[in-house]
Amino acid sequence: MSKSFIEHVIFLFCVFLLCPTMALASSTDIQQGLLAYKELEFEKAGKAFQKALDTKGLSKKDRLQALRYLAICQYNQGEQQTAAKTWKQAMSLDRTLKLPSGQAPSVVKFFEALRPKPPKRIIKRPVPRPVERRAMLRRITPTQPPPKPFLETHMISVIAAGTGILAATTAGILTGVTYGHIDKMRTEAPNSLPHYSSAQTTATTATALWITSGVLTAGAVGLYVAGK
């Protein structure tokens, strides 16, 4: 047998002997760290967990456990930044990593804030076809009723305006009659008493009609403006 073959066999034999020893040593370090952690000796526990992590060939399960407790020990020693870094290393191995039970609310809040939040789901709605889009717009757009006819919306103002015009026309006629009586009074001075009485009556009626027409016209304008 060649010398290189013998050296290779010796190397594999040494590895075979050392691997269980190293695994046992790392497991012992983790157990010592857990005992110190339960006694609230966070500095001692942290050193034991760190020693286990420095061991080569550490299994994923043991590494995850050591990182988890090491982060808590670092936090309780006031090393928040280091604890956050250690906790993120642990989460890189297991995103569903949870804290041990019985932790203080401040500890839970600190480490849970480091947990990456799931990305928001963006729901893409299908673009509606032209026919569907028009139907959708018709459902969304409120239908406005057609405008009502002018007479229907302004009936009261039209009636008031018409009545005012009729009153003004009648007042104008009565005013003319009044002036006719006055002219007769001038020409028939001795017999002017009947004409004077008629003139006074028509003048009073004409004045009342003029006032009525003014009020009705003003009311009609006001109602029209208010109804626009």
* pLDDT (0 to 100) of residue 45: 92
Average pLDDT score over residue span 106-127: 82
* Banded model confidence at residue 15, pLDDT cuts 50, 70, 90: very low
- Provide the CATH number for the domain around residue 65: 1.25.40.10
Residue 67: inside a domain: yes
Handedness of CA 75, 81, 86, 92 (dihedral sign): positive
pLDDT-derived band at 43 (thresholds 50, 70, 90) equals very high
Q: What is the pLDDT of residue 108?
A: 93
Residue 131 lies in a domain: no
Q: Which of 92, 71, 90 has its CA nearest to residue 82?
A: 71
Angle at 136 between CA 131 and CA 138, to 5 degrees: 100
Fill in the amino acid letter for 91: M
Range of the domain at 65: 3-113
Average pLDDT, stretch 162-176?
70
Contact assessment for residue 195 and residue 184, using Cβ atoms and an 8 Å cutoff: yes
Residue 205 is predicted with a pLDDT of 76
Q: Is the pLDDT of residue 17 over 90?
A: no
Residue 129 — pLDDT band, cuts 50, 70, 90?
low
Task: Specify burial of residue 142 (Cβ count, 10 A radius: 0-12, 13-18, 19+).
Answer: exposed
107 & 158 share domain: no
Query: Do 159 and 107 fall into the same domain?
Result: no
What's residue 224's pLDDT?
A: 61
Q: Which of 96, 113, 130 is the last residue of a domain?
A: 113
Residue, of 24 and 72, whose pLDDT is higher: 72
Per-residue pLDDT at 12: 44
Which one is predicted more confidently, 228 or 104?
Answer: 104
- Does residue 213 sit within a domain? yes
Q: Where is pLDDT greater, at 90 or 119?
A: 90
Task: Output the pLDDT for position 125.
Answer: 72
pLDDT over threshold 60, residue 3:
no
In terms of Cα–Cα distance, which of 43, 81, 83 is closest to 67?
Answer: 83
Residues 102 and 162 in one domain: no
> CB–CB of 76/59 below 8 Å?
no
Positive or negative, the CA dihedral 63, 69, 75, 79 is negative
The whole-angstrom separation of Cα 160 and Cα 166 is 10
- Give this prediction's pTM: 0.45
Residue 219 has pLDDT above 60, yes or no: yes
Same domain flag for 101 and 15: yes
